[in-house]
Chain A
Amino acid sequence: QQQVKQSPQSLIVQKGGISIINCAYENTAFDYFPWYQQFPGKGPALLIAIRPDVSEKKEGRFTISFNKSAKQFSLHIMDSQPGDSATYFCAASGGYGGSQGNLIFGKGTKLSVKP
């Protein structure tokens, strides 16, 4: 069964600290791993994504680390800010478009950044 397991369920970080969220997957056919940010009352918004041919991708304060052999990937938020408080979802998909392109989501991590 295709699954993406995400941890922790919730996370409290002080302003300026590093937030780390982890995900593990099972299906080796997955080739696209995005992270989404969702605020209350809004739909998920793409934050950053990676493909398995690279081990790390950085965009501003957000970094994805990818370990293909362990089938794990993680999101690091550097210098966390109160405005980063949201629910974060990891996801995976198995290819471009079609039914292979649908996203399999983790259960989410609720991040609270304390001032």
Chain B
Amino acid sequence: ETGVTQSPTHLIKTRGQQVTLRCSSQSGHNTVSWYQQALGQGPQFIFQYYREEENGRGNFPPRFSGLQFPNYSSELNVNALELDDSALYLCASSLIGTNGYTFGSGTRLTVV
């Protein structure tokens, strides 16, 4: 059973640019959630995808968007990057109807 894998592990972008982060969910899971973890803080929920549609969203602006693919993998896109977007972005997968979330190791995004 494979876990959640995320790519890339590290990324440096310039303010105003766009970025795409990728996530492969754990085998048997059908939802993907994305979280933002600022340094020294707990993860904050961005959104969840189920059946290729957004299925819940936290307090993040529309420039944060996502996709889920038929194989349950997912992308997080962030447009018009701001310095405050610098954080660890975590992907978590689960089986709908359960609370068994498995987290990936994250992508460390630095915006300069």
Contact = CB atoms under 8 A, between A and B. Distances in A.
Interface of A: 4, 6, 32, 34, 36, 41-46, 49, 89, 91, 93, 96-108
Interface string B100-111: 111111100000
Interface size class for chain B? 20 to 34
Contact of A102 (B48, B100, B106): B48
Contact of B33 (A6, A32, A102): A102
B45 A104 contact: yes
B48 A98 contact: yes
Contact of A99 (B44, B48, B94): B48
A46 B42 contact: no
Interface string B48-79: 10100001111000000000000000000000
Contact of A43 (B4, B57, B98, B99): B4
B99 A93 contact: yes
Given A44-B43, A107-B41, A49 B48 contact: no
Given A44-B90, A105-B44, 15 more contacts: A41-B105, A43-B4, A43-B103, A45-B103, A91-B42, A93-B99, A96-B96, A96-B99, A97-B97, A98-B56, A101-B48, A101-B94, A102-B48, A107-B41, A107-B42
A70 B61 CA distance: 34
B7 to A, nearest CB: 13
B94 to A, nearest CB: 7
Interface in B1-19: 4
A26 B57 CA distance: 20
A103 B47 CA distance: 11
Nearest to A34: B99
A85 to B, nearest CB: 16
A103 B97 contact: no
Nearest to B88: A43
A99 B57 contact: yes
Contact of B101 (A41, A103, A107, A108): A103
B41 A108 contact: yes
A27 to B, nearest CB: 14
